[in-house]
Structure 1
Amino acid sequence: MPDKGGVYFVPALGGLGAPHWSSQARGLITGLTEASTRAHILRATLEAIAYQIRDVFEAMELDSPGPLGELWVDGGATRNEWLMQFQADLLQRPVIRSLSPEVSAIGAAHLAGFALGWWPDEDALASLERPRQRYEPRSNAVPELYGHWKQALKRTALH
């Protein structure tokens, strides 16, 4: 699907979490026309994941001493190649994806083993590192879509 036909989905079905923290926000699909298809809604749903991550990324940058250089990701959604590239384009920063989709669990196991003395030092633990895939920003056009996301976010508030 080359675009989402102007459709935006804000998945505030149980309110909005970080960084908005609005329990009163409601989910929203906006921009629907008679030409809108399921594919447009699906694409808008995938994009919503990336927009929410950018919201949190920007909040983290405000709390950091300088700009964040890249985003490291893991989890089931990272298996979607298109989503990872869209995220890199949206952030205008590299996105680094572990080839192990649940790297958080692996990291917890490694740290537990380290605490038990299974590895003699941090270098031995670092040698367990797994390969990654890097997504570089390719498009400058994607960030302008973020302004439309922000407008859609404003519409989720109950008055």
Structure 2
Amino acid sequence: MKGIIAAAAMTVLGTAQVSAENIEIRRNGHSPSVAGKADNFSGHAVISPLLPPNDSTRANLGQVDFAPGSRTVWHTHPAGQLLFVTAGKGWVQEEGKARQEINPGDVVWIPATVRHWHGATATSPMSHLAMTYMVDGKNVEWQEPVTEEHYR
């Protein structure tokens, strides 16, 4: 039975190695929260790491809390990003397209190498869980800030 489950998991996950040997619980507060670096965020954002990448997932997960008016700089992800909006009201924008509002319960898929930014609206905070996928040990390529004129 264990072999059948492992084979099914390999089919779903492709070549990822799956280990069903142990359940891992990362306790709340296991990794300290940090302020978003000024090179990567405009305004006040707090990043709370939740799960580091490993050989099975090749992804990491973190909670990002944006104060009103705060946002990421333009950036891309080599293997894409999933955002799960948990609170507040935010915006996400793909380069060359209209900014879109995102709200609690929304799930946003950002494909690999798509240049974008995301953050809170000008008047509301926003929180999301961000899952990014690793390629050659890297999950993001940070670029230049989103200007105030472009943001508003």
Structure that is richer in helix per residue = 1
TM-score, scaled relative to structure 1: 0.27
Larger radius of gyration: 1
Structure that is richer in strand per residue = 2
TM-score, scaled relative to structure 2: 0.28
